[in-house]
Amino acid sequence: MALNAAVAAAVALAAGLVLGAAAGWALLAAALAFLLLRDARHLRALIAWLKAPRAGEVPDARGAWGEAFALLHRHERSGAREQGELARALIRWRKAGQALPDGVVILDAGNRVEWCNDNAEEHFGLDARRDLGQPVVNLVRQPEFVAYLESGDYAHAVQMRSARGGGRILSVQLIPYGAAQKLLLSRDVTRLERIETMRRDFVANVSHELRTPLTVLAGFLETVRELKLDAQRTRDYLDLMSEQTSRMRRIVEDLLALSALESAPPPSPESRVDVASLLGKLKSDAEALSAGRHRVTLEAEGAFDLLGEESELASAFGNLVSNAIRYTPEGGAVRLVWRASPAGAEFSVEDTGIGIEPQHIPRLTERFYRVDRGRSRETGGTGLGLAIVKHALARHQAALDIESEPGRGSRFTARFPARRVAPAAARPATTPTS
């Protein structure tokens, strides 16, 4: 603008020399007025554009104003580009936060909620829109968390139950960062806690189950060593010691069988199990175990085989059969039933035994769980048979259903899906040998 004014003054001076002083001053005033009006128009255009900048649209001007407008436009485009990059980074960050398997809550210096992901909403019962800006202690009120937050010691996580109920257990930890801000992380450890509880119970049960026969053995050995026993008494003690040794061996064998089921690769869906042959063997074994004390029958419908690991299924079915024999009083009946179709198959073992109280049924497949510990030991059970059954069936995508009524008997049914069933293969007839 100063340059334009200087030019106008020079032109007015030249005109004054030619036309006279009055004409020169008039011309100078007109030139300055023109420049002021033009600058005022550009200034209004600039103000309007700054109030509502539009991408790609800047006021049209030349000279100094044109350069100023171009410079502002470049700055505006650069700022829009940076703002877009920041917005995209924020979106990526939020997506990453939502993808985390843990709950995440960002707390400001006053422990107020700034942001949370979906898992945190589920764990703590938060609402991402409603609860922003709220003190976290007003939203997560479990005493364990409040004490943890106020302690200032966040080196370790604290465990607490979820506000949503359902028995869910959370591991919660605070991580300070920045200027007194905090990250609140939560993880659902319900399954891990259940596994840890099962591990502790398992160790305690194994210790108990092995300690009992070992205590008996130690007592017998001390008696044999310190007392002078005749040959018959010595044989009696040795027989009892052999029984306890056999019991420990069965426990160890069943534990090894369980371990093998848990660590083995999944059974091949291509391996075929000859169900007809397996059923015949199960019936023979049941009759041998019963030794004539029970009526054992077999019913089979549907010429279908199973697809899977024969040894695992034989072990599972065998455990069901032996349980029925052991817990059915003399004179009772044990019925083996096989039903199969393209839609699936089921193998049932029904007995007229002592039955089971309803409250025990959900826990029957737990390791070492016994309805009657004394009776189980008398019948030679280890408390692991049904756990083996459950694992073997689960590896074949099969389920175990248990129905029982005290004093009337029980029915255990293994149900197999269609993908584990195939039409029985043609097999050559066996020729009896002389």
For residue 133, give the CATH number of its domain: 3.30.450.20
Please tell me the predicted confidence (pLDDT) of residue 95.
73
Please tell me the predicted confidence (pLDDT) of residue 113.
93
The answer to whether residue 60 sits within a structural domain is no
Looking at the fold, whether 413 and 278 belong to one and the same domain comes out as: yes
Looking at the fold, whether 303 and 405 belong to one and the same domain comes out as: yes
Please tell me the predicted confidence (pLDDT) of residue 225.
79
Please tell me the predicted confidence (pLDDT) of residue 229.
78
Final residue of a structural domain among 228, 263, 298:
263
Q: Are 318 and 385 in contact (CB under 8 A)?
A: no
The answer to whether residue 19 sits within a structural domain is no
Looking at the fold, whether 250 and 283 belong to one and the same domain comes out as: no
The answer to whether residue 244 sits within a structural domain is yes
Strand partners, 412: 349, 402
For residue 307, give the CATH number of its domain: 3.30.565.10
Q: What does the block give as tokens for 246? A: 């056999």
The identity of residue 115, as a single letter, is W
Looking at the fold, whether 141 and 203 belong to one and the same domain comes out as: no
Residue whose tokens read 């023979």: 284
Final residue of a structural domain among 233, 263, 293:
263
Measured CA to CA, the distance from residue 116 to residue 186 in angstroms comes to 11
Q: How many domains does the chain have?
A: 3
Q: Residue 310's domain spans which residues?
A: 272-423
Please tell me the predicted confidence (pLDDT) of residue 52.
64
Final residue of a structural domain among 245, 263, 281:
263
| 359-368 tens-digit pLDDT | 999 989 988 8
Please tell me the predicted confidence (pLDDT) of residue 350.
96
Which of 108-117, 195-204, 250-259 has the weakest average pLDDT? 195-204
Please tell me the predicted confidence (pLDDT) of residue 379.
55
Binned at pLDDT 50, 70 and 90, residue 45 comes out as low
Looking at the fold, whether 419 and 277 belong to one and the same domain comes out as: yes
The answer to whether residue 89 sits within a structural domain is no
Does position 46 have pLDDT exceeding 80, yes or no? Answer: no
- How much is the average pLDDT of 175-202? 87
The answer to whether residue 65 sits within a structural domain is no
C-beta atoms surrounding 63 within 10 Å: 12
Q: Are 273 and 305 in contact (CB under 8 A)?
A: yes
| CA 252, chain centre distance (Å) | 31
Does position 415 have pLDDT exceeding 50, yes or no? Answer: yes
Binned at pLDDT 50, 70 and 90, residue 290 comes out as very high
**Phi and psi torsions of 35, nearest 5°:** -65, -40
More confident residue, 220 or 172: 172
Looking at the fold, whether 198 and 223 belong to one and the same domain comes out as: yes
Does position 30 have pLDDT exceeding 60, yes or no? Answer: no
The answer to whether residue 433 sits within a structural domain is no
Strand partners, 336: 298, 349
Does position 434 have pLDDT exceeding 60, yes or no? Answer: no
Looking at the fold, whether 215 and 123 belong to one and the same domain comes out as: no
Does position 11 have pLDDT exceeding 80, yes or no? Answer: no
Q: Are 184 and 107 in contact (CB under 8 A)?
A: yes
Binned at pLDDT 50, 70 and 90, residue 312 comes out as very high
Binned at pLDDT 50, 70 and 90, residue 28 comes out as very low
Please tell me the predicted confidence (pLDDT) of residue 432.
44
Looking at the fold, whether 252 and 322 belong to one and the same domain comes out as: no
Does position 91 have pLDDT exceeding 80, yes or no? Answer: no
Q: Are 338 and 301 in contact (CB under 8 A)?
A: yes
Which of 96-100, 101-105, 406-410 has the weakest average pLDDT? 96-100
Looking at the fold, whether 106 and 147 belong to one and the same domain comes out as: yes
Q: What does the block give as tokens for 168? A: 């869910």
Minimal CA–CA distance to 345: which of 398, 274, 416? Answer: 416
Minimal CA–CA distance to 327: which of 407, 400, 246, 248? Answer: 407
The answer to whether residue 3 sits within a structural domain is no
Please tell me the predicted confidence (pLDDT) of residue 286.
94
Please tell me the predicted confidence (pLDDT) of residue 383.
80
Please tell me the predicted confidence (pLDDT) of residue 423.
92
Q: Are 244 and 217 in contact (CB under 8 A)?
A: yes
Max Cα–Cα distance, the chain, nearest Å: 158
Looking at the fold, whether 115 and 231 belong to one and the same domain comes out as: no
More confident residue, 58 or 143: 143
Looking at the fold, whether 241 and 138 belong to one and the same domain comes out as: no
Please tell me the predicted confidence (pLDDT) of residue 433.
43
Does position 223 have pLDDT exceeding 50, yes or no? Answer: yes
| 156-185 tens-digit pLDDT | 999 999 877 778 899 999 999 988 899 999
- How much is the average pLDDT of 296-303? 93
Please tell me the predicted confidence (pLDDT) of residue 381.
67
Measured CA to CA, the distance from residue 307 to residue 304 in angstroms comes to 10
Does position 193 have pLDDT exceeding 80, yes or no? Answer: yes
Measured CA to CA, the distance from residue 117 to residue 245 in angstroms comes to 57
- How much is the average pLDDT of 109-127? 91
3-state secondary structure string, the chain? CHHHHHHHHHHHHHHHHHHCHHHHHHHHHHHHHHHHHHHHHHHHHHHHHHHCCECCECCCCCHHHHHHHHHHHHHHHHHHHHHHHHHHHHHHHHHHHHHCCCEEEEECCCCEEEEECHHHHHHHCCCCCCCCCCEHHHHCCCHHHHHHHHHCCCCCCEEEECCCCCCCEEEEEEEEECCCEEEEEEEECHHHHHHHHHHHHHHHHHHHHHHHHHHHHHHHHHHHHHCCCCHHHHHHHHHHHHHHHHHHHHHHHHHHHHHHHHHCCCCCCCCEECHHHHHHHHHHHHHHHHCCCCEEEEEEECCEEEECCHHHHHHHHHHHHHHHHHCCCCCCEEEEEEEEECCEEEEEEEECCCCCCHHHHHHCCCCCCCCCHHHHHHCCCCCCHHHHHHHHHHCCCCEEEEEEECCCEEEEEEEEEHHHEEECCCCCCCCCCC
Burial class (CB in 10 A: 0-12, 13-18, 19+), 136: buried
Minimal CA–CA distance to 380: which of 254, 262, 234? Answer: 254
The answer to whether residue 83 sits within a structural domain is no
Looking at the fold, whether 159 and 197 belong to one and the same domain comes out as: no
Percent of the chain with pLDDT over 90: 41
Please tell me the predicted confidence (pLDDT) of residue 245.
86
Please tell me the predicted confidence (pLDDT) of residue 32.
52
For residue 204, give the CATH number of its domain: 1.10.287.130
More confident residue, 349 or 238: 349
**Angle, alpha carbons 311-317-323 (nearest 5°):** 130
Q: What does the block give as tokens for 300? A: 């089979």
Measured CA to CA, the distance from residue 425 to residue 432 in angstroms comes to 21
Q: Are 348 and 336 in contact (CB under 8 A)?
A: yes
